[in-house]
Amino acid sequence: MPERVKTDMGGATAALDYDAELMLRVKEGDGASFGLLLEKHRTPVVHFLYRMVQNHAVAEELAQEVFLRVYRSRSSYEPTAKFTTWLFRIATHLALNSLRDGKNERSQERLDKDPAEMPARQISDSRPSVEQRMVYQVRLEEVRQAVAALPEKQRAAVLMHKYEEMEYSQIARVLRCSESAVKSLLFRAYETLRAHLAHMA
């Protein structure tokens, strides 16, 4: 499974992740490579945006804008960081702008619709009892609401760290801050979540 390739940039050989290699092919006019990137990353981006803006329709709209910006930027793309860092920087920027502009109307959509819309990450293959499913859904809802109540940058950091499994250095590049600032954001966020969800322990 080819995850990393070598490419020559300005006389220096550097290792690139496979996504960056695909984006370089897009830059050269390969539309099929853009399709592969879209197929691979669209669902994680929609999930991230949904958890940020709490509205499925807005998340879908923002995801379209994310990939439109990726495609429009193809001619100037340079693999200076992981492709996902660049991708989530665009997604985070759009999500924060959407929240600040008040474009998402949370009253239009309840959080408890989320599991049905994103079954891949929410529904287990095992078949728990009805009671177990109810308890799970109640707890999942409490966690979602607690994360949604966090300040915007803390929420973004938690989503990237917990759900996207990004390292501190990558989150720092996405949020354009230092790793120590990321650790501080996450520390405050997790302390808040622990306090709000202590009864579930």
Task: Provide the residue ranges of all domains of the chain, joining segments of one domain with +.
Answer: 1-109
Domain 1-109 class, CATH top level: mainly alpha
Instruction: Using a cut of 0.75, tell me whether the model's pTM lies above it.
Output: no
- Tokens of residue 49, six digits: 């945006």
Each residue's pLDDT tens digit, 126-176: 566 677 777 777 788 888 889 999 999 999 999 999 989 999 999 999 999
Contact indicator for 198, 189 with CB cutoff of 8 Å: no
Each residue's pLDDT tens digit, 56-97: 999 999 999 999 999 999 999 998 889 999 999 999 999 999
pLDDT-based confidence at 101, cuts 50/70/90? confident
Q: What is the pLDDT of residue 32?
A: 93
